[in-house]
Every structure is written in C-alpha cells, then in structure tokens.
Amino acid sequence: MLELRPNCEACDRDLPPDSKEAMICTFECTFCKSCADSKFKYVCPNCGGNLVQRPIRPVEALKFNPASSKRIFKPRD
C-alpha cells in the first residue's frame, strides 16, 4: 500500500491526500511540486530516482486505508 506522507520533506509544506502538488519517488520520498521542480529538477535527492505526481487515493478508500500522519522533514540548502 502506498504511504501517503503528509508533508514535503524539504520545506514541510502540508500535502493532504488529495493534493495535486505532491510528488514522490519509488521509495515514497515526498516533496511538493515547487521543491521537486526548483530545488531538485524532479530527481529525488535521497535515492536519485525520478519524482512524479503522487496518485490521489479516493476518499472512500481513505476510510479503510488512511494516509500517514508521520511527518518527515529533512531541510536542504
């Protein structure tokens, strides 16, 4: 099950489950679109993989498979 992390790892911006601004890599590192573009050029700074738009889990599915509440914050220069 895809972990829907609640924030951007770089700037700590909130990224709710229905955000179209959430970007992820294959390891589910999560960044906002702004950081993914301007800071990382759509390359994950953790693993080197590409960053793509995170899928949106339907509201009905969130009832049984909720988004993660664990925030990961690794500020970068």
Report domain extents, the chain: 1-77
**Residue that wins the pLDDT comparison between 77 and 6:** 6
| Average pLDDT, rounded, for the chain | 96
Cβ atoms < 10 Å from Cβ of 45: 17
Q: What is the mean pLDDT of residues 37-66?
A: 97
CA gap 8, 21 in Å, rounded? 10
| Residue 76 token pair | 């970068």
SS3 category, 52: strand
| pLDDT for the residue numbered 56 | 96
The letter for the amino acid at 36 is A
Q: Is the dihedral of CA 62, 45, 77, 38 positive or negative?
A: negative
The Cα angle at residue 35 between residues 18 and 58, in degrees rounded to 5:
10
% residues pLDDT > 90 (the chain):
95
Q: What global pTM score does this model have?
A: 0.92
Whether domain 1-77 has CATH 3.30.40: the reply is: yes
